[in-house]
Amino acid sequence: MSENVRSLESALHALEKTMRDTGADLVQEISNLKHKLEGLRSSEDAKLSRWARVQLARTPSRPTGLDYVERAFSDFVELSGDRCYGNDQALIGGPATLEGRPVMLLVQQKGRDTKGNIKRNFGMSHPEGYRKAMRLMDMAQKFGLPVIAIIDTPGAYPGIAAEERGQAWAIAESIAKMASLTVPTLSIVIGEGGSGGALAIGVGNRVMIMQNAWYSVISPESCAAILFHDAKEAPRAAESLRLTGQDLLELGIVEEVIPEPLGGAHLDLDTTVANFKEAVLRHLEELSQLSGEEVLEQRSRRFRNLGVFGEN
Amino acid sequence: MALDRIFRRKKPQLVVQDDLPELWSKCTHCSVQTYKKDLLAEKKVCPSCGFHNRISVEERIAFLLDEHSFVQSSGHVTPLDPLEFKDSESYPDRIKRSQQKTGRPDAILCGEGRILERPLVLALMDFSFQGGSMGSVVGEEITRAAELALERKVPLLIVCASGGARMQESVLSLMQMAKTTVALNALGKAGLPYFSLLTDPTTGGVTASFATIADVILAEPGALIGFAGPRVIQQTIRQNLPEGFQRSEFLLEHGMVDIVVDRRKQRTLLAQLLDHLGSKHKKAPVQEYKI
């Protein structure tokens, strides 16, 4: 946020306080100032670099998966465990209702503070997370629930135990399972869409992304480390990777960019969740018109057609 | 140490004298010299220690398929630079260099062929082309190979060798993981077997998609196979990795691959598997397993 925005904000707060305290009629002035502030924020938003958006997506106060679940859905019942090894805390899920409609939620969850992040492993799943997701997809298929997958992960966890228990296998199988469902699937990237760990639950009939979220094959830091031999070149890598919502819309990777309040989702949670909920309901309604076979066919065609190449 | 130095100094003199490097090959693993013709007869597996040297796609076809049975289907799809990726070297330049080196449009070769008379469709990844990385072209060719197998009603074999998804096509590369999977799901639904042979090295987005959803996963001895590369893991956890970590034998022990198979026995094994799992669509009578 720039100095200009901040000074306008404090002027606005001062005016509002004066009106409250003195009862003076400043409605017009306040309205003018609000309008001006919105214009300034909007033009600043358009100028945000890709790296700035990556940083917005990582803002510690940014809403997490559960913030959306608690506000947009009712009666969420978290179901635990992969029935093989453990219960991953970075990928949670279970049934819930959305405006009376039963759905299956898969949620990549980061912590809301340091303690939470340690519990959630900073949103980086082990294979158990993806295997739990698969179990819940099977359940959704069995009981005819649409799957709503909320994506927010820097990536799948790269560790010894994760490799021993088949991290790649779990992701691959999760992709394959989600691709085979005849119930509708929706995937929404709300923060970080870190590579295969995100795609594991990203095989949606529709895929959406929040305005200040990113989705890429590799994090800007890792990309910079490989290409420029320096993780500090991440801002440059972020530009190259074309990883913002707007980029993805232009590349045909997502159907929709869900708008955030100016300045970022964390500044106005209610508006953020309302926008999210509206988009999810609209797509779910459209998809509910399709038969199971049509759902599978639509999703298969959607992914079959992704890729840019020449032909001779 | 001193002795070592003496030997090292002497070595160049030996080599200059005769045609040793022309005819002999020294194993990078056990240092034993093998007559090159013998090594080729062993499919480039060191007869002394069993080390599996990396081989080219053309050698792979020669070692795996019946003679003259391969008919190429790939090659019409070419890479573009849809993101205008900014890098120390331009993406089109990198591509051009690899194309000149390999004579291929991208890191993959597909076609139809036979193993001991049994027909199948193959896709072979070329690690020497940008580390076998998967962008839009590799994704499209794998998808077409799966579709060709479905059309011909024959099994599919993918020989994997890849560092993962290609950075220079960013999210488009990532999407190839889902795209190839969709095509393989359709193959499976039709009851056609899919085999993957993991070779050194297979990591990243390729391991986390089509490579590991095969009906039967085979791996060459000693191949590095994993999700994250060893360097990334080491940087993350800041401790040394255990001996043999992410090698084929390690994965077999952890239940992640079906069989670790010596290159010299792959034809026989694949023929057996093709018969066992491919009977549903089989027209010709079962042949003898001969090498």
Set out the domains of chain B in order of their start, with CATH numbers: 1-53 (no CATH), 55-281 (3.90.226.10)
Task: Show residues of chain B in contact with A299, CB under 8 Å.
Answer: 182
CA dist., res. A24 & res. A16, Å (int): 10
What SS3 class is residue A269?
Answer: helix
Which residue out of B174, B203, B224 would a mutagenesis test of the A interface target, given it has the greatest number of A Cβ atoms within 10 Å?
Answer: B174
Q: How many independent structural domains does chain A possess?
A: 1
* Domain encompassing residue A219: 62-304
- The verdict on residue A309 lying in a domain is no
List CB contacts (< 8 A) between B147 and chain A: none
Q: Residues B80-109: pLDDT tens digits? A: 999 999 888 899 999 999 999 999 999 999
CB atoms closer than 10 angstroms to residue A111: 18
C-alpha torsion sign, points B169, B173, B179, B184: positive
Q: Which two tokens stand for residue B135?
A: 């962008």
Token output for A43: 């033009």
Three-state DSSP state, B156: strand
Q: What Rg, from alpha-carbon coordinates, does chain B have?
A: 20
* Residue A19 sits at the chain B interface (C-beta within 8 Å): no
Closest Cα in chain B, distance from residue A248 (Å): 8
CA of A311 vs chain B CAs: smallest distance (Å): 5
A187 neighbors A207 (Cβ within 8 angstroms): yes
Q: How far is B69 from chain A (nearest CA, A)?
A: 25
Q: What pLDDT, on a 0 to 100 scale, did the predictor assign at position B19?
A: 55
Chain A nearest-CA residue for B209: A172
Residues of B in contact with A309 (CB under 8 A): 77-80, 136-137, 140
Q: Looking at residue B144, what is its pLDDT?
A: 98
Query: Is residue A9 included in any domain, yes or no?
Result: no
The nearest CA of chain B is from the CA of A5 a distance in Å of 32
CA distances to A96, A157, A201, B166, B289 from A79, in Å? 11, 22, 17, 36, 50
Chain B interface mutation, best of A205, A216, A217, highest count of B Cβ atoms under 10 Å: A217
- Scanning every residue of chain A, which has its alpha carbon at the shortest distance from the alpha carbon of B240? A160
Query: Phi and psi dihedrals of B29, rounded to 5?
Result: -95, -55
Compute the nearest-CA separation of A201 from chain B (Å): 10
Nearest to A306 among B78, B172, B245 (CB): B172
Q: Under an 8 A CB cutoff, do A159 and B237 touch?
A: yes
pLDDT for the residue B179: 98
Residue A311, chain B, CB below 8 Å: the answer is: yes
User: pLDDT category, A18, cuts 50, 70, 90?
Assistant: confident
Domain assignment present for residue A218? The answer is yes
CA–CA dist A80, A228 (Å, integer): 41
Check CB contact under 8 Å for B212 and A312: no
Q: Quick check: A311 and B76 CB within 8 A?
A: yes
Q: Does A240 touch chain B (CB under 8 A)?
A: yes
Residue A49 · residue A254 · CB < 8 Å: no
Q: Which two tokens stand for residue A272?
A: 């953020």
Instruction: Tell me what percent of chain A is helix, strand and coil, each rounded to the nearest 5.
Output: 55, 15, 30
Whether the ω angle into residue B201 lies within 30 degrees of 0, i.e. cis, is: yes
Q: Is B190 on the interface with A (CB under 8 A)?
A: no
| Dist. CA B284–CA A267, nearest whole Å | 68
What are A221-254's pLDDT values in tens digits? 999 988 888 888 999 999 999 999 999 999 999 9
If residue B123 lies in a helix (H) or strand (E), which one and from where to where? strand B118-125
Token couple for A217: 């094959």
A205 CB within 8 Å of a chain B CB: no
Substitution target in B94, B144, B166, B177 with the highest count of A β-carbons within 10 Å is B177
What is the phi/psi pair of residue B202, to 5°? -130, 110
Nearest to A300 by CA among B162, B189, B159, B149: B189
Strands B216-219 and B259-260 turn out to be parallel
Q: Which amino acid type is present at position A104?
A: M
Q: Read off the pLDDT of residues A119-173 as tens digits, 9 standing for 90 and up.
A: 999 999 999 999 999 999 999 999 999 999 999 999 999 999 999 999 999 999 9
Helices A65-72 and A269-287: crossing angle in degrees, nearest 10, is 70
Residues above pLDDT 70, as percent of chain A: 99
pLDDT at A30 exceeding the cut of 90: no
Band (B4; pLDDT cuts 50, 70, 90): low
d(CA B117, CA B114): 5
* Range of weakest confidence among A45-54, A143-152, A297-306, B9-18: B9-18
Please give the distance of CA A310 from its chain centroid, rounded to a whole number. Answer: 32
Q: Is residue A226 part of a domain?
A: yes
Q: How far apart are CA B74 and CA B54, in angstroms?
A: 22
Q: What are phi and psi of B140, to 5 degrees?
A: -65, -40
Chain mean pLDDT for chain B: 91
pLDDT tens, residue by residue, A171-224: 999 999 999 999 999 999 999 999 999 999 999 999 999 999 999 999 999 999
- Contact list in A for residue B99 (CB cut-off 8 A) is none
Determine the Cα–Cα distance for residues B279 and B285; give it in Å rounded to an integer: 10
Contacts of A180 in chain B (CB under 8 A): 185
Q: Would an 8 Å CB–CB cutoff place A39 in contact with chain B?
A: no
Evaluate if residue A22 carries a pLDDT over 70. Answer: yes
For residue B182, list chain A residues with Cβ-Cβ distance below 8 A: 179, 299-300, 303-304
Cα A247 to Cα A66, A119, B83: the distances in Å are: 26, 33, 9
Q: Is residue A229 within 8 angstroms of chain B, CB to CB? A: no
User: Which is nearest to B122 in space by CA: B209, B61, B206?
Assistant: B61
Q: Is residue A42 part of a domain?
A: no
pLDDT confidence of residue B10: 46
**Across the interface, do A304 and B207 touch by the CB < 8 Å criterion?**
no
* Mean pLDDT (whole number) for A273-300: 98
Q: CA angle, corner B259, sides to B152 and B26, nearest 5?
A: 105
Give the SS3 label for residue B187.
helix
Task: Confirm whether A7 is domain-assigned.
Answer: no
Q: Is residue A232 part of a domain?
A: yes
Residue A114 lies in a domain: yes
Query: Does B224 contact A at CB distance below 8 Å?
Result: no
The answer to whether the Cβ–Cβ distance between B178 and A203 falls below 8 Å is yes
| Rounded Cα gap, residues B109 and B99, in angstroms | 13
Cβ neighbors of B255 (< 8 A, separation 6 or more) are A166
Contact check, Cβ <8 Å, A167/B208: yes
Residue of chain B nearest A225, judged by CA positions: B232
Closest residue on chain A to B143 (Cα): A304
- First CA to last CA distance, chain B: 46
Contact B179, B186 (CB under 8 A): no
pLDDT at B142 over 60: yes
| Residues B182, A303: C-beta atoms closer than 8 Å | yes
| Rounded-to-integer distance, Cα B194 and Cα B120, Å | 10
Top residue of B108, B170, B236 to mutate, by most chain A CBs within 10 Å, is B170
Mean pLDDT of A43-54: 87
CA nearest A154: which of A205, A113, A191, A208?
A: A191
Q: How far is CA B169 from CA A25, B64, B98, B175, in A?
A: 57, 32, 16, 10
Among A113, A114, A303, which Cα is nearest to B140's?
Answer: A303
In this prediction, residue A165 carries a pLDDT of 97
With an 8 Å Cβ cutoff, is A309 touching chain B?
yes
Pairing between strand B194-203 and A91-98?
A: unpaired
Mean pLDDT of the B17-23 span = 64
Here the CATH number for the domain that contains residue A223 is 3.90.226.10
DSSP SS3 for A307: coil
Q: Mind telling me how many Å the CA of A26 is from chain B's nearest CA?
A: 50
Q: Does B114 touch chain A (CB under 8 A)?
A: no
pLDDT at B194 (0 to 100): 98
Cβ–Cβ of A217/B167 closer than 8 Å? yes
